[in-house]
Structure 1
Amino acid sequence: MMLKAVVLCGNPKPRSRTLALAEALAAALLPGISIVTIDLAAHADSIFAWPSNDMDELIAVVAGADVVIVASPTYKAAYTGLLKGFLDRYGPGALDGVVAIPVMTGASLAHAMAPEAHLRPLLVELGASVPTRALYFVTDNMDEVDRSVEAWVTTNARYLQATLGRDTGRHPSGA
């Protein structure tokens, strides 16, 4: 059975650096896996519309994923309202069975704990399993994305493998 993977980005700017980081992580962590990307900036007009067929479809895609990388820039020491508005469409436990990886970007290391302190608890409240450490990345270092992603994958891939009960194609040694 092929894994279903989603990158969910809550940056209000389309095709943002946050999205680029999340997609790089997905490609490195899940090589050969087809990954659906949801850039919420492209759906901003629908986030707070009730009802919304567009949002209903996206909600189903995320809830049906095996792995979802949830990414946001740091806004006021937390995640964006765009991401929160989307995730508010789920009830408690609605992401049961989904493995989530919190990813946040920021201008400095001052908010490096934001994904652990704010995004992880939200994902757990929604029922997602969060077996890895979050990835926080300083956006001034975009030329180091590949190196940072590779270091994160080397450290965390085994936790994802253990949670999914299968090999993701990556090994802790990086081989």
Structure 2
Amino acid sequence: MTFLISGVVGNPRADSKTLAATRSLVASLTDALGASDAGVVDLAEFGGRVLDSSDAGVAGERARLAAVQLLVVATPVYKGSYTGLLKAFLDGYGPGALSSTFAVPLTIAASPQHSLAGGTHLQPVLDELGALSPLGGLFLPDAVAADGAQRDTAIAEWIERRSVVLGSLAGVAA
């Protein structure tokens, strides 16, 4: 079995710094685990279609993401929480739908006061869906996420601090 890593981005703006950070984190985790990168879904491409339960494109992406082993769930923090776009997408899953999935909540915000939004607001939704988060979440300040070099350094340091858990996941990947 191939260990697949993917990401979903809940920023309503296309080609956002959230998307860039998610792609970087997915690529770094893929390298660290010797896994396969299954690509990143940018929900901005779907917009309001995430609310339509009959939309085949959205349903297909939900199913594809439920089949990966590690999912980065990324959002900017607005008003102290994750975006409505991401909430609408995640609401399309039934309880336990991600029970075979490890998840990494990735949040980006201008204020360090929002650094706990991933754990406080996003993690309970991932728990409801059955996802496990042994690596914990990653918070990137807006300025760090906007600067490729700083972003990649922060991601590398985050991954390094989780080397023991990543080693266990690598065993799962093998």
TM-score (ref. length: structure 2): 0.90
User: Matched residues in 1 for 2:11 and 2:139: separation?
Assistant: 14
User: Matched residues in 2 for 1:50 and 1:145: separation?
Assistant: 35
- Give the 3-state SS of the residue equivalent to 2:119 in structure 1: helix
After superposing the two structures, state which structure 1 stretch, 24-33 or 70-79, moved more. 24-33
User: Matched residues in 2 for 1:77 and 1:45: separation?
Assistant: 22
User: Matched residues in 2 for 1:129 and 1:62: separation?
Assistant: 14
1:80 equivalent among 78, 83, 106: 83
Are 2:8 and 1:3 aligned? Answer: no
Which consecutive residues of structure 2, in runs of 5 or more, have no partner in the other structure? none
Are 2:24 and 1:24 aligned? Answer: yes
- Equivalences for 1:1-175 in 2 at 5 Å? 1-31=1-31, 33-141=36-144, 142-143=146-147, 144-163=150-169, 165-166=171-172
Percent identical among aligned pairs is: 35
User: Matched residues in 2 for 1:107 and 1:23: separation?
Assistant: 20
Aligned-residue CA RMSD (Å): 1.6
Shift of 1:163: 4.4
- Give the 3-state SS of the residue equivalent to 1:127 in structure 2: coil
Is contact 1:29-1:157 (8 Å) kept?
Answer: no
Residues paired across the two proteins, number = 168
Which consecutive residues of structure 1, in runs of 5 or more, have no partner in the other structure? 169-175
Judging changes above 3 Å, is the alpha-carbon distance between structure 1 residues 160 and 48 closer, same or farther for their aligned structure 2 residues? Answer: same
Judging changes above 3 Å, is the alpha-carbon distance between structure 1 residues 63 and 74 closer, same or farther for their aligned structure 2 residues? Answer: same
